[in-house]
Chains A and B, each alone.
Chain A
Amino acid sequence: MNAENYLKLVQFYQDYAAAVDQEDWDAWLNMFTDDAKYKVQSRENYDRDLPMAVLNMYSKNMLKDRVYGMTETIFHEPYHQCHVVASPRVISASGGEIEAQANYSVFRTKTDGIAEVYNVGRYIDRIQVTDQGFKLASRLCVFDNEMVLNSMIYPI
């Protein structure tokens, strides 16, 4: 991958973090292909090859339902997220598809609270290069935390 494309890829990762942190769910949805997979999974399940995950979505439509659920139906304490995403590590890039990974840290700040480390892990991604730019065909968020701090409402 040449430097220009790598910079585009870096921009894509930062755009994702900004969309989630700013709760711009249309922008977030727009970063996935229609049949995208999205999963937030503990490292324990991932390492042991167990399929269970905290969030386990198999299509962009499921992600749309998630957006409706987290904005309209799930009662929860409001909170902000701040994602700090490291430079992506390109695993492979060929035939219009990129495999890349990036470490992330997510801080959560509740309405009355101060920032706390909420979720730390690694994105494992398959990204399609399309006419409309990069699209996630699959994003797997594997987190190191032994447990979720109570609940997880917004995507990582």
Chain B
Amino acid sequence: MNQENRIPMTPVWGHEDNSRIPYWAYTQEEVYKKELEKFFYEKHWCYVGLEAEIPEPGDFKRTAIGERSVIMVRGEEGEIYVVENRCAHRGMRFCREKHGKTKSFTCPYHQWNYTLEGELQGVPFRRGVKQDGQVRGGMPKDFKPSEHGLNKLRVAERGGVVFASFDHEIESLEDFLGPTILKYFDRMFNGRKLKILGYNKQRIPGNWKLMQENIKDPYHAGLLHTWFVTFGLWRADNRSELRMDDHFRHAAMVSTRGDGSKNADTTNISSFKESMKLHDPSFLDIEDEDWWGGPTAVMMTLFPNLVLQQNVNSVTTRHIQPTGIDSFDFVWTHFGFDDDTPEMTERRLRQANLFGPAGFVSADDGEVIEFSHEGIEQNDREQALAVLGGRTVEEADHMVSEACIRGMYDYWRKVMGV
């Protein structure tokens, strides 16, 4: 083997710009460990859930940030706390229910008891046992419960969406998102109460970044997804914009649907099916909503762990939970709004058939991520190409560009130091 073909011990980017992504970014265990630290456990607001999931004091939901199990809980005064699901005593992941209602948290192993905020409030036999008139055992006199609470995360909430950070030295959520992305965030979460419709979960055998890239890639959406092309929901000739924050870590793909007709831009697209007619058109019984303000689809990627979807009347959060370098859980929370009519709720549920693990549109996203990861693993000295629309990182007023992927790697390289 000559020197050039060797996989470097210390990964180097090996290309002057971000239009090529070395496969080692998806396959090297050390890189993944560093990503967890740098993106999931430091300096980034990570999604944990929606306020509407825990409407009352004591309501909690167990979820994950990176590979760490955390609990989002509503306190007695209505405030929201996020604590790590790990007992301060022996490290046990004590919370096993996915959701529930409680007055306090108790680790069953030794019954250490914590407040909803994560303060240690009870330790059995702290002062030992009395035998033969003597006190035996117990915690040392200098044991301070206040030093042995659960690991408390910093919490930020906006528009009913809850984010948390292990790192307390972090900019505000608003600064983290930046004004461009905040505008689209506030469009979707404009203060109305949310109504949870339910969850879909899938385990996708691929590197977690491939999902971020999938939703920063408007190119595939009008090619892979027959339903998008044929019914004009997402197509290269639709009016579109690609927007990013100043760091290029987050992105919004904004699009307004067309009429789905055949034209010069569909002639070479094999997934365009001119004669396709639905037997039951209610899958696409679309009703414009005031809050859209024009665009019929806005797909947001918030780095590192969240996708926010509005595609016509279907709205979801999609939570990326890495479970290793080559696998992640993808958790969809479908919701509506408190003032939805029963017809609108029904409409959102019908359109949900396009999305999720079985979705007419999204099922193949999971598949292509799995197969991309397979190809990447089989020859990890190679590079992926992201050169559509140029080699630099620029916003666009069309969707024939991979600039958002290049942007993500521009940011990723700065943080990872490669």
Binding site for B on A (CB under 8 A): 40, 42, 44-45, 48, 50-59, 61-62, 64-65, 68-69, 72-77, 146-153
Contact = CB atoms under 8 A, between A and B. Distances in A.
Contact of A62 (B199, B203, B280, B368): B280
Contacts of B371: 77
B279 A53 contact: no
Contacts of B98: 44
Q: Which A-B residue pairs are the 6 nearest by beta carbons?
A: A52-B198, A50-B198, A61-B279, A73-B226, A61-B280, A147-B201
Given A72-B273, A73-B360, A75-B364, A51 B201 contact: no
13 contacts: A50-B197, A52-B352, A53-B198, A55-B353, A56-B352, A56-B353, A65-B279, A72-B226, A74-B363, A147-B202, A149-B203, A151-B202, A151-B364
B70 interface: no
Nearest to A150: B366
Nearest to A44: B199
A75 B369 CA distance: 12
A42 B271 CA distance: 31
Given A69-B360, A147-B329, A52 B366 contact: no
A59 B205 CA distance: 33
A152 B197 CA distance: 20
Contacts of A76: 363-364, 367
B261 interface: no
Given A62-B353, A72-B273, 20 more contacts: A40-B358, A42-B199, A42-B201, A51-B198, A52-B334, A62-B279, A64-B280, A65-B283, A73-B276, A73-B360, A74-B363, A75-B367, A75-B368, A77-B367, A147-B201, A147-B357, A149-B202, A150-B357, A152-B363, A153-B358
A151 B197 contact: no
Contact of B349 (A56, A146, A148, A150): A56
B227 interface: yes
A58 B350 contact: yes
Nearest to B370: A150
A151 B199 contact: no
A26 to B, nearest CB: 14
A58 B364 contact: no
Contact of A50 (B199, B202, B226): B199
A152 B202 CA distance: 9
Nearest to B206: A150
Interface in B216-238: 224, 226-227
B204 interface: yes
A146 B198 CA distance: 13
B409 to A, nearest CB: 25
A69 B334 CA distance: 22
Contacts of A42: 199-201
Contacts of B278: 61, 65
Interface of B: 98-99, 196-205, 224, 226-227, 271, 273, 276, 278-280, 282-283, 329, 334, 345, 349-350, 352-353, 356-358, 360, 363-364, 366-368, 370-371
A14 B196 CA distance: 36
A59 B364 CA distance: 24
A42 B224 CA distance: 27
A62 B334 CA distance: 21
B312 to A, nearest CB: 16
B98 to A, nearest CB: 7
A54 B357 contact: yes
A73 B368 CA distance: 14
A152 B367 CA distance: 10
B21 to A, nearest CB: 23
Contacts of A147: 201-203, 329, 357
B1 to A, nearest CB: 29
A54 B203 contact: no
Given A75-B367, A76-B367, A146 B273 contact: no
A151 B283 contact: no
Nearest to A52: B198
Contacts of A48: 99, 198
Contacts of A53: 198, 352
Nearest to B229: A73
